[in-house]
């Protein structure tokens, strides 16, 4: 079993059709759904420290391919390290930090950073502005690392990219606008790394909690979603099985307020910034897990669901047509979108 850990989302923000009401199913136990006779994969796994957290690569490899699996995962882990070094905000020499410190309103970008910024813009649009990558200053204030910014207005759509040759680009933004790519970057890296493992029909890239998953027909990946209330217990177990004789691909991501928490100025603070207020989200959602077609999309929508709150968050996920979602509220209620039940094992 793979344990899913969050080591750690005219376009009005967080609004959709006024009359759209989410349909949900209550969950009462740690594992739910229907029984399947397919045994879950017991993978070859490669773990490393990367992206400020834990990277794990899982491959379905028999004994004869273990050496090959080791070489493949080591190669992909090295590539991930290169990508992460370019888009991290925790290094003064990364491409992202160089951009954030540049006071010009037009800045040329190398291909990796340009690609991740494009992905961030797509996620901002698909989450109706709630997953906003322009809130670095508010995030640093939430951590107690900087003063609260004077400008608390969202600038989610106040920048653009102009494509150049070979994947490079120029970003246009007002001087001083800075980007935070922590979540988007991990989802993007997970999806791209999975593509590098295309020779392996069943593989998982766990990029510090954002999972990109591929499964061959006749195989099953089993993924446990941690319960933040009790260590080493599961809120749900996903059984992801390819159907109709074709490989299946998913993204699974969890976001929540139970980690990345700080006491700042005598009050409790967390890392999920609501772009409507510029402050840590006041929400009744403790944790949201989303199953989508990619890790990037799952990560952004899970974050947005937490920020929006349970009612608006579930409605947003229905509008986004995700493949499944499980939400835990501050009242201890676990609810899921109906389509999730087909993915839950018992």
Evaluate whether residue 149 is within a structural domain.
Answer: no
CA angle 121, 122, 125 (to 5 degrees): 90
The predicted model scores a pTM of: 0.87
Rounded average pLDDT per 10-residue block, the chain, 346 residues: 43 36 46 52 90 92 94 97 95 96 96 98 96 90 73 82 95 93 96 97 95 94 92 91 87 88 66 88 94 98 96 96 96 94 83
Q: How many domains does the chain have?
A: 1
Q: Is the dihedral of CA 151, 269, 131, 207 positive or negative?
A: positive
Span 317-346, pLDDT tens digits: 999 999 999 999 999 999 999 999 999 875
**Half-sphere exposure of residue 164: CA atoms within 13 angstroms, side-chain side:** 14
Cβ contacts of 119-125, under 8 Å, gap ≥ 24: 119/184, 119/187, 119/188, 119/296, 120/179, 120/181, 120/184, 121/161, 122/296, 123/184, 123/187, 123/296, 123/297, 123/299, 123/300, 124/156, 124/157, 124/300, 125/11
Tell whether 261 is covered by a domain: yes
Residue 220 lies in a domain: yes
C-alpha 212/C-alpha 194 separation (Å) is 6
* pLDDT at 246 (0 to 100): 81
Q: Is residue 165 part of a domain?
A: no
Read off the CATH number of the domain in which 315 is found.
3.10.520.10
Question: pLDDT digits over 262-287, tens only?
Answer: 566 766 667 788 999 988 888 999 99
Residue 225 lies in domain: 2-60+199-343
Q: How far is CA 66 from CA 17, 60, 279, in A?
A: 51, 9, 48
pLDDT at 155: 85
Asked if residue 67 belongs to a domain, the reply is no
Cβ within 8 Å of residue 123, ≥6 positions away: 131, 133, 184, 187, 296, 297, 299, 300
Please indicate, yes or no, if residue 230 is contained in any of the structural domains: yes
In a domain, 163, yes or no: no
Q: Is residue 146 part of a domain?
A: no
DSSP string, 94-106: SHHHHHHH---SE
């Amino acid at each position: 079993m793979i344990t899913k850990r969050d080591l750690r989302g005219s376009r009005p923000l967080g609004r959709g059709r006024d009359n759209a009401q989410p349909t949900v199913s209550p969950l009462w136990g740690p594992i739910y759904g229907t029984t399947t006779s397919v045994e879950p994969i017991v993978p070859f796994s490669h773990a490393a420290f990367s992206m400020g957290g834990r990277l794990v690569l899982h491959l379905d490899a028999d004994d004869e391919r273990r050496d090959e699996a080791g070489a493949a995962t080591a190669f992909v882990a090295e590539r991930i390290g290169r990508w992460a070094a370019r888009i991290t905000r925790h290094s003064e020499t990364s491409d992202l930090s160089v951009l954030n410190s540049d006071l010009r309103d037009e800045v040329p970008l190398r291909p990796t950073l340009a690609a991740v910024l494009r992905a961030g813009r797509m996620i901002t649009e698909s989450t109706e502005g709630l997953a906003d990558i322009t809130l670095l200053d508010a995030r640093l204030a939430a951590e107690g690392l900087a003063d609260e910014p004077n400008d608390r207005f969202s600038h989610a759509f106040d920048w653009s990219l102009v494509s150049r040759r070979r994947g490079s680009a120029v970003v246009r933004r007002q001087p001083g606008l800075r980007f935070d790519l922590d979540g988007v970057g991990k989802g993007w890296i997970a999806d791209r790394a999975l593509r590098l493992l295309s020779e392996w029909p069943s593989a998982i890239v766990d990029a510090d909690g954002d999972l990109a998953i591929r499964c061959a027909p006749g195989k099953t990946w089993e993924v446990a979603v941690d319960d933040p209330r009790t260590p080493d217990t599961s809120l749900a177990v996903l059984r992801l099985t390819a159907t109709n004789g074709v490989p299946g691909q998913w993204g699974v991501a969890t976001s929540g307020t139970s980690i990345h928490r700080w006491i700042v100025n005598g009050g409790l603070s967390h890392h999920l910034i609501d772009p409507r207020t510029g402050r840590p989200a006041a929400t009744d959602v403790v944790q949201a897990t989303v199953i989508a077609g990619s890790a990037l999309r799952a990560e952004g929508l899970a974050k947005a669901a937490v920020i929006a709150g349970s009612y608006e968050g579930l409605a947003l996920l229905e509008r986004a047509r995700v493949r499944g979602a499980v939400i835990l509220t501050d009242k201890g209620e676990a609810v899921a979108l109906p389509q999730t039940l087909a993915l839950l094992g018992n």
